[in-house]
Amino acid sequence: MTTTLDAPAILREARARSRRRVVLVGAVLAVATLLAFLATVSLGEYPIPPGDLLSSLVGAGPARVEFVVTRLRLPRALAGLAVGASLGLAGALFQRLLRNPLASPDIIGVGAGASAAAVTALTLLGLSGLAVSGAAVLGAAATATLIVVLARRGRGSTGLHGVRFVLIGVGVGSALLAVVSWLMTTASLTTAQQTLLWLTGSLNSVSWASVTPLLISVAVLVPLGLVAAGALPRLELGDEAAAALGLAVERSRLVLLAIAVLLVAAPVAVAGPVSFVALVSGPVASRLAGPGRASLPHAALVGALLVLVSDLVARHLLGDVPLPVGVVTGVIGAPYLLWLLARARAGGTS
């Protein structure tokens, strides 16, 4: 029979099991992501054996192999890794911050804001390259700001209501997607085709010039996001309880929102709005590693693994012509969204 004296030991054992689970799941996800990354670099019309691949990555391989690896395939693989990790962590931060599994940036309008700004730069202004990337970042930031302003609970209130934020985000996103559709219909055929490929979410045209700023952004934003997420457990208690525990509620929330928005804008600027990665990664990581802040790095790994595997499928298993990675992630994510909505309705939740 358990006594009160056993309670501390039971608690320590439960925490130890939780830590072991987090570490084990993280190690498995990291290994799977590494294998998917190596497969992305090695597979193609010119297969590269593992030995040549490893020697090329350190600059000691044959010239032909090194050209294929470093100039053609490595930028794409790094882009898939960075895009997935960034979107996965961003989705988990939005969902935890707003306490709503539907609070994904591609549903609440942040991704639509980046897309609308980028398409405007492409079709109306004739811009390309870093200018389009900058427009996507500004569009995501402006859209997030608008949604935050509209989603406040009331005059003089600093809190955000998760369901209200999602609903307003869906409305703003729908309006922005209508703008995108109008721009597509007024653009030339060539520009419209290029824009449609970008809107699907694609790694096909990634180069070192585009992936380098993305890698720098992700290297800065992911650690910042994980550090700022230390405020989430207190924020989840409610504004009054968090303030009573000494947390600057409004500042912490705005910092987390800003980091999450930038984590969305950076990959969208390079690869377009790769759908459903942000929606799926957080819940999958929570189921594997357990709920809580500890699963946030796992969400980044799940996102990276999802994008890399989806890109492999899009390139090698769906025909002779490489498809955009967003086609495969959409096929994966759409049923999940329908299941999530059905589950919410059956449970009587919003």
Query: In the predicted model, what is the mean pLDDT of residues 283-300?
Result: 84
C-beta of residue 30 within 8 angstroms of C-beta of residue 308: no
C-beta of residue 105 within 8 angstroms of C-beta of residue 260: yes
pLDDT in tens, 308-332: 999 999 888 776 777 888 888 888 8
Closest CA relative to residue 91, chosen from 238, 298, 250, 247: 298
pLDDT in tens, 81-129: 999 999 999 999 998 888 888 788 888 888 888 888 888 888 888 777 7
Query: In the predicted model, what is the mean pLDDT of residues 138-145?
Result: 90
- Average per-residue pLDDT for the chain: 83
Query: Residue 153: what pLDDT?
Result: 60
Local confidence band at 341 (pLDDT 50, 70, 90 cut-offs): low
pLDDT in tens, 34-53: 999 999 998 877 788 777 77
Q: What angle do CA 282, 287, 293 make, to 5 degrees?
A: 55
Query: Residue 345: what pLDDT?
Result: 59
Contacts of 199 (CB under 8 A, 6+ apart): 115, 119, 180, 272, 273
Domains, the chain, in order of start with CATH, read 33-347 (1.10.3470.10)
- DSSP annotation of 73: I
Report residue 133 CA to chain centroid gap.
Answer: 16
Indicate if the pLDDT at residue 1 is higher than 60.
no
